[in-house]
Amino acid sequence: MLWNIGMPLALLVVYVVVFSAVLVPSISPDVLEPGTFPLYLSVGFLPWTAFADTLLRGTQALVGNAAYLRRLPLPERVFLGQSAVASTIGMLVVLVLLWLLSLVWGRFPTLAWLAMPVVAFLWQAFAYGLTLALGALNVFFRDLTQLVTILVQIWMWSVPVVYVEQLLPDTLRSVLPFNPVYPFLTSLRMVYLQGTFPPVELWLAMAAWVALAVLVGELVLHLVQPEIRDAL
Measured distance CA(78)–CA(155) in Å, rounded: 28
Measured distance CA(25)–CA(92) in Å, rounded: 32
Q: Which of residues 22-41 bind other proteins (CB under 8 A)?
A: none
Q: Which of residues 122-141 bind other proteins (CB under 8 A)?
A: 140-141
Position 159 contacts other proteins (CB under 8 A):
no
Length of the chain (residues) = 232
Q: Which of 97, 112, 118, 224 binds other proteins (CB under 8 A)?
A: 224
Position 67 contacts other proteins (CB under 8 A):
yes
Q: Which of 28, 71, 150, 171 binds other proteins (CB under 8 A)?
A: 71
Cβ neighbours, 10 Å, residue 7: 11
Q: Which positions ≥6 away from 178 have C-beta within 8 Å? A: none
Site size toward other proteins (CB under 8 A) is: 15
Position 185 contacts other proteins (CB under 8 A):
no
Distance of CA 19 to the CA centre of its chain: 21
Position 226 contacts other proteins (CB under 8 A):
yes
Q: Which of 85, 108, 167, 227 binds other proteins (CB under 8 A)?
A: 227
Q: Which of 3, 100, 169, 230 binds other proteins (CB under 8 A)?
A: 230
Enter the DSSP assignment of 194. I
Position 219 contacts other proteins (CB under 8 A):
no
Q: Which of 29, 34, 73, 169 binds other proteins (CB under 8 A)?
A: 73
Position 229 contacts other proteins (CB under 8 A):
yes
Position 69 contacts other proteins (CB under 8 A):
yes
Measured distance CA(144)–CA(36) in Å, rounded: 38
- 3-class DSSP state of 31: coil
- What per-residue string of b and e applies to 194-226 under the rule 16 or more CB within 10 Å gives b? eeebbeeebbebbeebbeebbeebeebbeebee
Residues lying near other proteins in the complex (CB under 8 A) are found at: 67-73, 140-141, 223-224, 226-227, 229-230
